[in-house]
């Protein structure tokens, strides 16, 4: 089989590898498509160090090719979405149900080989069989959508509330749709107005940019009060976290789900005085089936989100495309 092997920063080569065989409890997945996200880009560029060589790719789907002993729940030929994180199952965090917070968590494509390859080997429990009729494009967004489903749930949203989604990349455009499905009014907030039309097409009731006053006046006008009830922050920059805190009203909630890599100078005076509730949200716990359901039932649309596709041989171009302003979700089709 062939795999895109990262040997060092930007040293990515498609090369042959021995076919994979499943150990007990494992499955081999014949990869159909693998999405690329900011995490992959940071690994590829060397910003995020990993143990080389590594097959990146954690947002992938495919067909079960073989299963090991004890993985009889799965069978060869099943189409699956892959949940790329698995926890140790034994530590206090895992035992109390916080498996997404496990300090010994393993991520496919980051800690071990992932999905930019013809085949991937993973624990069978990472495979979520796809309902009949779900297309590959839809299924491929299950992983980022699971992140968003959890973030929205962490915000304890209620129908009829007002929400702002900060950032209109793949996560933000998914968050708009999940919030709408939960019955909220949604203000999308981008850095520029470039995605205004798209955000509205996907359900946003209004759109503003952070260019003028960070979008605060727009959030007030949209909510008809001091700010929105809940903010889902998906941009993952230090500045965006600060801006998110300003969009909500006193007593409001902010869910940061992007991962800012630099420190921010959050104004804690304002947080204490306004009793803002900041609720972090880290990947997902039991949200995968709900993400797959939202995709299967067409409640979340992914068509406009997949902007670029490359075959495995041209994976270097996929990384270049990820940085282009038009890119939302770039994927490698295998």
Closest separation between CB of residue 263 and Zn ion, Å? 22
d(CA 327, CA 307): 6
Close Cβ partners of 195 (under 8 Å, ≥ 6 residues apart)? 168, 173, 188, 207
- For residue 88, which of 107, 73, 74, 69 has the smallest C-alpha distance? 107
328 binds Zn ion (CB under 5 A): no
If one counts every other C-beta atom within 10 angstroms of the C-beta of residue 217, the result is 11
For tokens 């949209």, what's the residue? 222
The 8-class DSSP code of residue 213 comes to G
Among 91-99, 154-162, 183-191, 215-223, the segment contacting Zn ion (CB under 5 A)? 91-99
Instruction: Map residues 154-183 to x or -, x wherever contact with Zn ion holds by CB under 5 A.
Output: ------------------------------
Which part of the chain contacts Zn ion (CB under 5 A), choosing from 69-77, 92-100, 224-232, 245-253?
92-100
Whose Cβ is closer to Zn ion: residue 88's or residue 333's? 88
Residue range at the interface with Zn ion (CB under 5 A); choices 60-68, 70-78, 82-90, 133-141: 82-90
Backbone angles phi, psi at 142, to 5 degrees: -60, -40
> How many residues interact with Zn ion (rule CB under 5 A)?
7
Q: How far from each other are the two terminal CA atoms of the chain, in whole angstroms?
A: 11
Other residues' Cβ atoms within 10 Å of the Cβ of residue 112: 16
Please pick, from the candidates 1, 14, 50, 88, the single residue that binds Zn ion as defined by CB under 5 A: 88
Cβ contacts of 119 within 8 Å, gap of 6 or more: 1, 3, 19, 20, 28, 29, 30, 31, 65
- Shortest separation between residue 67's beta carbon and Zn ion, angstroms: 24
CB of 281 to Zn ion, least distance (A): 14
Q: Cβ 36 to Zn ion, closest distance in Å?
A: 8
Q: Cα 11 vs. chain centroid, distance in angstroms?
A: 25
- Of the candidate spans 98-106, 183-191, 228-236, 318-326, the one that interacts with Zn ion by CB under 5 A turns out to be 98-106
Using CB under 5 A, which of 1, 50, 91, 181 touches Zn ion? 91
If residue 272 lies in a helix (H) or strand (E), which one and from where to where? helix 268-273
Q: How far is the CB of 143 from Zn ion (least distance, A)?
A: 6
Q: Which of residues 23-42 bind Zn ion (CB under 5 A)?
A: 37, 39
Q: Is 14 among the residues that bind Zn ion (CB under 5 A)?
A: no
For residues 315 and 19, give the distance between their C-alpha atoms in angstroms, rounded to a whole number.
Answer: 20
The stretch among 15-23, 89-97, 210-218, 268-276 that binds Zn ion (CB under 5 A) is 89-97
The residue from 87, 209, 210, 243 that contacts Zn ion (CB under 5 A) is 87
Of 102 and 145, the one with the shorter C-beta distance to Zn ion is 102
> According to CB under 5 A, which one of 32, 33, 64, 94 is a site residue for Zn ion?
94
CA distance 169 to 77: 33
In the bound complex, what is the minimum distance in angstroms from residue 95's beta carbon to Zn ion?
A: 8
Cα 209 from chain centre: 22
Under rule CB under 5 A, residue 61 binds Zn ion: no
Q: Which residue ranges make up the site for Zn ion (CB under 5 A)?
A: 37, 39, 87-88, 91, 94, 102
């Amino acid at each position: 089989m062939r795999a895109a092997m990262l040997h060092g920063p930007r040293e990515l080569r498609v090369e042959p590898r021995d076919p994979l065989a499943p150990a007990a409890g494992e499955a081999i997945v014949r990869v159909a498509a693998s999405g690329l996200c900011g995490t992959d880009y940071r690994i590829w560029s060397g910003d995020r160090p990993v143990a080389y060589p590594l097959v990146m790719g954690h947002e992938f789907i495919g067909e079960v090719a073989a299963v090991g002993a004890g993985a009889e729940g799965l069978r060869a030929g099943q189409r699956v979405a892959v949940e790329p994180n698995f926890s140790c199952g034994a530590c206090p965090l895992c035992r109390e149900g916080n498996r997404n917070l496990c300090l010994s968590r393993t991520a496919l494509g980051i800690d071990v080989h992932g999905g930019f390859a013809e085949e991937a080997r993973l624990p069978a429990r990472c495979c979520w069989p796809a309902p009949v009729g779900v297309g590959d494009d839809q299924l491929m967004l299950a992983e980022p959508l699971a992140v968003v489903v959890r973030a929205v749930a962490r915000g304890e949203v209620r129908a009829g509330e007002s929400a702002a989604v900060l950032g209109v990349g793949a996560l933000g455009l998914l968050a708009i749709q999940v919030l709408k499905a939960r019955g909220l009014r949604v203000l999308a907030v981008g850095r520029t107005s470039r995605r205004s039309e798209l955000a509205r097409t996907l359900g946003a009731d209004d759109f503003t940019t952070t260019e003028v006053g960070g979008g605060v006046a727009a959030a007030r006008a949209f909510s008809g009060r001091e700010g929105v009830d809940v903010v889902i922050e998906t941009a993952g920059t230090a500045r965006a976290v600060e801006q998110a805190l300003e969009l909500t009203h006193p007593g409001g909630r902010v869910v940061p789900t992007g991962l800012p890599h630099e420190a921010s100078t959050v104004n804690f005076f304002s947080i204490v005085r306004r009793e803002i509730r900041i609720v972090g949200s880290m990947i997902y716990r039991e949200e995968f089936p709900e993400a797959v359901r939202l995709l299967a039932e067409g409640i979340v649309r992914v068509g406009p989100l997949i902007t670029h596709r490359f075959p495995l041989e041209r994976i270097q171009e996929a990384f270049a495309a990820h940085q282009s302003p038009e890119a939302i979700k770039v994927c490698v089709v295998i």
